Amino acid sequence: MTETIGSIKQGIEFIIQEDVKSEKHGNNVFWEQGDFFFNNQKRQATVTDVKYVAANLLIVAHRAAAKLYLVELKDQSFSIIDTLLLDTAKYSLNPKKRYGYRRFFHPDLIALHDNTVYISEYTKRCCIVEVIGNRLVYKKTIDLGNTPFHGCFSDNTHAMFGSVKDGCITTLNHHNHKVDKINAHLEPKQRIKTIGVEDDFWVLSIDKLSGKHTEIGSTADCWVKLYRRDKNNLEVLDTLSLPYGQIDGHKFYNHHHFITMHDGNNQCGVIMILKIIANKLSIVKRVACESFPHGIDIMNEQLIYTSYANSSIILHSLNELIET
């Protein structure tokens, strides 16, 4: 990976503080996975995604705390107006789900369809929440299959979840929750980290770990792949290779693909901007940002992303980033 090209001016940052236990303690949420390592750097699973519900309303996910927040943006400042603890035992009649890891749903990425929020967890589960007025309302948690999912995306008909094991995208119909699969034909152990769609093109971010995420020295190679869909198969048109990188977020906006990643070579966060030109992926620029960026969204020329390292969301004018 070449050197990053530029840096963003300091954005407006909102830090979400949560005291999450690292082991079981009464009925409180605990985070049993501990720190994650990448190329000798470590971070915790804090704020993983942010999405615009409206121009002044954001939904934010905190993985370790198993929480969603509804955040109001007003006069370039943030305030939390509602919080939802994703305690599946509260809504389940199955006593086996009342204890241990499965009690709480730990959100990873989120996707919106109208007022419905679909959430991946890096398990085979999906959680569905609705935004009603200024409230977050839990709907259900469902199993989607036999593999864990990370990538999360929604179009007008389906929510989509990228597998980290079988090289497939699982689709969930918005109306009847029918499940189907789209095959991306990946190599063993490659993970679908993000999903993006532009007209007839599909853009997937793929990676493959070297070592365990919880061990010092863990690294990953990653790729952005350009596809066209043929029924339930994706056919590769182009591949962009990014050694020692970890991609986590993706937003398509105004003919550009904005991708968050951590650059293991330069040991910094990066927002990478891509464009599709003549059936090829072209890097417009790479811009340094806060460490371990994850979720990202854009509305009304305002870009916002999350940082694992800072447990925060950071807001920027899109023009500032483009003109850097």
In which band, very low, low, confident or very high, does the pLDDT at 170 lie, cut at 50, 70 and 90? Answer: very high
Q: 35 or 295, which is more confident?
A: 295
d(CA 23, CA 32): 6
| Weakest-pLDDT range from 9-18, 117-126, 214-223, 293-302 | 214-223
Contacts of 272 (CB under 8 A, 6+ apart): 258, 259, 260, 261, 283, 285, 286, 287
Pick the range with the lowest mean pLDDT from 20-34, 106-120, 185-199.
20-34
Q: How confident is the model at residue 8 (pLDDT cuts 50, 70, 90)?
A: confident
For residue 111, what are its two tokens? 């996707």
How confident is residue 213, by pLDDT bands cut at 50, 70 and 90?
Answer: low
Quick check: 2 pLDDT over 50?
A: no
pLDDT score of 1: 44
Q: Over range 117-133, report the average pLDDT.
A: 96
**152 burial level (CB within 10 Å; 0-12, 13-18, 19+):** buried
Q: Supply 11's token pair.
A: 């954005």
pLDDT of residue 40: 75
Tell me the C-alpha to C-alpha distance, in Å, between residue 138 and each of 11, 130, 263, 291. 32, 6, 36, 31
Q: What is the CATH number of domain 6-17+32-323?
A: 2.130.10.10
Cα–Cα distance for residue pair 183/203, rounded to 1 Å: 13
Domain parsing of the chain, residue ranges? 6-17+32-323
